[in-house]
Structure 1
Amino acid sequence: MQAQPGKQATAGRFSGKRWRMLYLIFASALSLFAADWLLWRCTGWPVRDLADIRQSGRLRVLLSYDPIDYFIYRGEPMGYSYELARSFARALDVPLEVVVVRDLNNQIPLLTSKKSDIVARLMTITPASEREARFSNPLDSTRQVLVQRRPNGGSAMKLVRRLDQLDGKTVYVHRNSASYSRLAEIMETKNISIDLAPVEGSLSTSELIGKVSDGTFDYAAVDENIASTHTALFSNIDIRTTLSARLPLAWAVRKNSPELLEALNRWLKKIKRSGELAIIRDKYYNNLYRFKKHATHAFYSNQAGTISPYDQLLKKQARIIDWDWRLLAALVYEESQFDAGAVSWAGAIGLMQLMPSTGASFKARNLFDPAQNLRAGAEHIRFVDREWREIEDRSMRLKFILASYNVGSGHVRDARKLASKYGAKPDVWEGNVEKYLALKSQRRYYNDPVTSYGYCNGPVAVRYTRNILDRYRLYREVIPK
């Protein structure tokens, strides 16, 4: 039967529209691909956005190790940027991995090479920095200030109060900082000559301020928010000479991480509204007494690479069992927070929370004595290590040892049997044995015929193991071996 001419024409018009629409969709997709390709070609930046971070199971944040951003105090990681980064990682429901920047001039290269996902330091947003990275919504704002010593009675040095008084002066500054750019601008607009002396990126802002205080340098230019806290440490410095107007401070992400940036801004909006951001800021920036207390404490890790009052005992016992002493310290912190007098509800005692029967088996008569407790605990670890010699990979065996220290080897062996029964790998911890140890808190699994030791609070043991390994990673980043 012959088609009706009208309908045939309509079908033809529809087909043409459809092809034009498909063409437009294809062209749009191609242009987006081309833009991404050009970004990759021009920047050389590998792609690692939010989905990749979640798939990898780690949010890697770059922090500087100093008395404000990130530090270890009495064995516990702390700091303004650290607490915020930990909060964001929890919001994403992924573990946090800290990457410590050793060179402040190397922040963006570490970001673009995928060694970190976020520069979680308060960076000043300037036109130059925006060419290198994308920035979150501001967390705060600051000005650049001149750090100088107050004249003492016998000093002929006068305070600089006007910008033109910087003519002929040497000012020490980090090269890739807003202060460096601002001083260069001042030279041009004021027609003066300032000797800009770039400092090594390994010199922290805190150390730079300290060099002005001790007379090594006469002048330095830094962010006001950092300088103001350090007046508590260095009573002879003056920071009242401002060099710039207020500029926003934010975190940086790679230019090709739009989903991460969007999630970061959503989280920032939430913590601003809830007051969490203000609370953390007050804790580290507005409490000068607290800042001075932790920054000068013997167990603030910047002082001498110390973690606890028991570092020498930890090092001695760690050598005996062939452990990194920082790993043993991480375990002790998880057990007792370095409280030698701690007693648990179950009767576990001291630094390593040993039961009296365990202490007795290793000839420890007084578990409140740190030396005896650590010796007995280390011997117990060596005993557990021998129980797991069948796990040949040492780094993998460590996870079985830690879990066994917490809940006993029997429960971990039950978890291995469950893993074998349900098709998982009995010699692999992550995603395999740890999964079934966590499931041993459920009746179906602790009553399974292959198990022998009954109920176990497996989720606690899994979290215990993860906490120790995470803290050990943090200690390794900042505490000398």
Structure 2
Amino acid sequence: MLSSLLDHLRRRRRGYAALCVLLGLWLFTDRPNRTPGPLLEDVLARDFLSIQTRNTPTTYYEGRQGPTGFEYELMRRFADHLGVSLNLDADQNIDEVLEAVREKGDLGAAALPLDPTRDGLMYSRPIMPLQPLLVYRRGLPPPSELDDLEGLEIGTLSGTGTDRVMRELQDEHPWLSWQESDDIEVSALLGRVADGSLDAAVVFEHQFRLNRLFFPEVEDGFRLGRPLSLAWAFPTGQGLGLLREANRFLDGLQGNGLLTRLETRYLGRDDYLEYVGARTFIGHVHERLPKYDSLFRAAARASGFDWKLLAAVGYQESHWRPDATSPTGVRGMMMLTNATAADLAVDNRLDPAQSIDGGARYLRELKERLPASITGEDRLFMALAAYNVGLGHLYDARRIAEMRGGDPDAWRDVREALPLLQQREWHSKTRYGYARGGEPVIYVRNVRRYYEILAYVDRSRQQFHQLNARRSLSEEDGLFDRVPPSG
């Protein structure tokens, strides 16, 4: 298919006026008489697609199962669409991304706002809207309009599009002033609002949705200015072939609904933990976890799990309280039963080191005892469910899933079957009988979400330390450039 596409591209007429390149080229996606250039041919010939991007939670980052993120998912699918591999350069800010696209990159995918005023670049069709949002520190009088911002210290990120919106607003409100930086990301900006360095910030709405649980001291204020559009950037002067193919690919994702589903999966969640509960969790991350994180790390090295996953299990079990005791007699940080503790040679369940090590070994044992046919994340999620409800009940749920025509090796189907253990119609057909099967479903969901927050916090700390390693203390004062009032 690709070879025929390439032959087709080579037969097409070449040469178009530069004016068409500088205008909104994505509008011409479906016109059959547009001329492809050499860039698509080069990509197919070399067998890889080079993408300039950024390491951010909304774009691309390393997750527990490898690279992930909204735009990474689109990049990966586009490379698969072309039948080539993917090569990423992610250690750059937005201006560096755009310069790299002009000089060497095939395309830029880095939460880029469509901006036809940028020289040497052309953009894909819009992928999703970017709505600027004013957020502020909890405790300040809630702002609801532009006039409420006078006298506030406001920050934003340069090059992202929010700075452009601020300049447009300043044309009508000359008193408007703010600080901007191209050397930090959204999490660091919101951190400065939370710690009082700034009173408010302007970010995009989806960025705040993803970050709000990590910064409960920051509140959303009001939408600011007109929405922009997320798009991919391509170099001018190298033909329209790759741009047109990207537009065709994005049109297909929009048409079959996958683009909307991916947007919801990666960017649409802002209530996956109850908000007050999230504030409590973040508080415990700072106050309780530091006492025990070395124990979780040691247990992780011995068991092969991510320490943050073990910490998430510990929080779900006891809220990181080593003396926790349930009405049923399970005790300790990882809430081990007497029988399980004895099997694991844990002689003091209230000793956090013994409890964490024992819980990690127990989770590993459960995971190893599962059938080999269960793989990947499904295997981990079922081991977590068994930690909560027991291996026997998990096997019963797998049998129910199979009876219902589902896949007993897929968590999505077992997750649907577990609550049926509460119904006589179903648990009467199983070996171990009744169980409160809804609880392990909630258990796994909560552990996954606690893990997500811990992974985010850990990643943000690493990025903070990396940023500080590249910048001296004297440079900290110059992190933001102040944009003064225009009149």
TM-score after normalising by structure 1: 0.50
Q: Which has the larger radius of gyration?
A: 1
TM-score after normalising by structure 2: 0.49
